[in-house]
Amino acid sequence: MDVISVIRTKRDKGELSPEQIDWVIDAYTRGEVADEQMSALAMAILLNGMNRSEIARWTAAMIASGERMDFSSLSRPTADKHSTGGVGDKITLPLAPLVAACGAAVPQLSGRGLGHTGGTLDKLESIPGWRALLSNEEMLHVLDTTGAVICAAGDGLAPADKKLYALRDVTGTVEAIPLIASSIMSKKIAEGTGSLVLDVKVGTGAFMKTIEDARELASTMVGLGTDSGVKTVALLTDMSTPLGLTAGNALEVRESVEVLAGGGPADVVELTIALAREMLDAAGVKDADPAKALADGSAMDVWRRMIAAQGGDPDATLPVAREHQVVTAPASGVLTRLDAYDIGIAAWRLGAGRARKEDPVQAGAGVELHAKPGDTVTAGQPLLTLHTDTPEKFDYALKSLDGAWDIAAPGTEFTPTPIVLDRIA
């Protein structure tokens, strides 16, 4: 078998055979298939798609490329959550300790930024000393002693996906539904969690721009999980506007701690609690109230233990960007739109994300929001603050914000979009 034949099959809208899929995933993992060849295949998949049997086989091949974990020794049921990526989507940070405080164990394997969307690991690495890379033994120890762990997938867990994940980020193939579904579910199934809640983002700041595409992705992933014995549920949630008031790394950590302290933006709190309830239900944990666990400080206690267990200092001062620039409202009225994609691109250009897989990110870079859709603004008041260590990036970031918002006449009625749009199980 040869990779050119596999690429041509999908380029010509053919169906990849199980043997082709098994071979190409194995060969890519071993280095026999080069990055540029897998890039061509990924683009062909983006353009021509895969059917259900191809996606299932691709996912199985990704799982088979590495090991499978086992959490059966834990005294608690396990529940994990995965977001398909958004702007200002710091939900994992307060969610994992919250669910743990309510009685479930949360083995949260997270990733780095993809394109304009932020990465949970990049955010947490802004905490001095915090480690994303844990051995399987360390991961199990943190999970057993604190109830929650957020870390990178180990080298032995779906190594084919680790290579392909980074490649997709820099080849314009992030949005391919078959690759998104197989990437997420191969890791989650191999991880060994007993239940899984998927947060499938919809809107300008999401990879799925339409509700139809989001339902297709959610249904595909729910099917893959269910067929593998993992109780899987998906929520479709709005990503037309950034979540919360920050998009960046340290900026989002700071906001997450505010949520754990009983405050924080209302939309972040609402979605965190909604996902916590789904996770607890899927794990079979009854009579737990996540809203109470936020209010009484028990979720914050788990957060502090979890961060410390991974080498971080929960009391450390978070990094702050050396330079900032304020963007003011050009007119008075009602802010009716603040585009999540444009804000994400601005944060990325300021240094919060990466253009190449080997690029570093700036801990303090990002965008701070001073108003959200529905708010009344006055001409000249701060609308956004841009943060970066490299002020030469300001002009490039500002170009992405051209047309990023709409301001209607004073008194204009505004109806907000619900955060949770649909549920698929």
Active centre residues (catalytic): 82, 161, 168, 183, 187
Neighbouring residues of 104: CB distance < 8 A, sequence distance ≥ 6: 76, 77, 78, 79, 147, 279, 280, 283, 285
CB atoms within 10 A of CB 72: 7
Distances (CA, A) of 237 to 185, 200, 381: 19, 6, 30
Beta strands (DSSP E) in 339-414 are 366-369, 376-377, 382-388, 405-408
Calpha distance 157→135 (Å, rounded): 11
Q: 338 with 241: CB under 8 angstroms?
A: yes
Calpha distance 77→105 (Å, rounded): 6
**DSSP symbols for 292-303:** HHHHTSHHHHHH
CA dihedral 309, 388, 199, 165 (to 10 degrees): -80
Calpha distance 307→314 (Å, rounded): 6
Calpha distance 365→113 (Å, rounded): 13
Pairing of strands 405-408, 333-338: antiparallel
* Helices (H), ranges, 324-410: 340-347, 394-400
Encode burial over 331-365: b for 16+ CB neighbours within 10 A, e otherwise.
eebbbbbbbbbbbbbbbbbbbbbbeeeeeebbbbb
